[in-house]
Amino acid sequence: MTVKELAELAGVSPATVSLVLNGKKGVSEEKRREILKLIEDNQYRRQRRGDAGTRNILFIKYSRDGVILEENTNFVSAIMDGAEQECQQQNFHFNITMCEGNLAETLESFDYSNFYGIMILGTELSEADYPALEKIPIPYVIVDNSMPHFDCNCVAIDNKENVFKAIQHFVGRGADRIGYFGSNVKIQNFIEREQGFFEAMEYFHLKVSEDCIFSVPPTMLGAFEQTQKYIKDGMEIPPCIFVDNDTMTIGIMKALNIADYRIPQDVSIIGFDDITFCTIYSPTISTVHVNKRMLGKMALSTLQNMTEIRDFKKIKIRISGELKIRQSTR
């Protein structure tokens, strides 16, 4: 007898049976008693975590609208590679599933007895997804989202600290007017980078004027077209700019190049993520390098601690980065 078969007998999803097996909330008392009776009547024997059948890690690649993840495939692949490599070293089976849009529906479909734990790529998670996460009956870790308003285990980028390093570099080179090109799609990483920009500017006693703040789509083409529009409308580009990510940076640099701005002589630019194109593009792009593979590796380590350490306290791990200065910055 499997969890899936029990679910069919009870007329519920495998996830609901898993909630009952793990003593979690989210199931009515009447349905809980019905499922427990079925478990007893059918002499269901639950596998212990760590048995051969439960050495499975499920990695859920979640995408709300696809725009950001599709434009940053190198970043996502590196996270997944890090998680998979660590799983192989620890003798876990690494299983990947895609989820586009409806996280709750996807989570309802799993037989959780088959898994040791779950990693969820949470780059595009929002508060609307919290109720679905609360129903997960086994250990799970959110990757690439600090989840500031939700009590869970997560491994994320220390966005504010890394943006501070970029602004500090500009200030060290004598900059007193620094611009910010931010995404007009607000995921948690971009929210924190924007907050980090304003906090760093305040720390260095630098004024932020409205004409130094630019909002562009988080895509290469979108950032290119919007920057062209800003230039056409007569907006002055500050001599130093920080950009939310490298994909946007490439589009912005192309627009500046067409408009005869010289980089870095006229405009110095620092991006974020250190994607492969940063070392190929001309001029090469200064950026914040983050060890993406470490995000995946730390996620598995956290899952193991949750399972093996009694009374393990929820933890939010933040990964620092390194500023890579290249040709786009003086």
- The tens digit of pLDDT for each residue in 234-257 reads 999 999 999 999 999 999 999 999
**Residue for token pair 């792009």:** 285
d(CA 117, CA 125): 19
β 321-324/286-290 pair status = antiparallel
- The tens digit of pLDDT for each residue in 121-177 reads 999 998 999 999 998 988 999 999 999 999 999 999 999 999 999 999 999 999 999
Q: Measuring CA to CA, how many Å separate 251 from each of 126, 157, 174, 318?
A: 27, 23, 26, 29
The torsion angle over the Cα atoms of residues 221, 120, 163 and 277, rounded to 10 degrees, is -40
What the chain holds in terms of domains, given with CATH numbers, is: 3-41 (no CATH), 54-156+292-320 (3.40.50.2300), 159-290 (3.40.50.2300)
- The tens digit of pLDDT for each residue in 63-117 reads 887 667 666 777 888 899 999 999 999 889 999 988 887 898 889 888 888 888 9
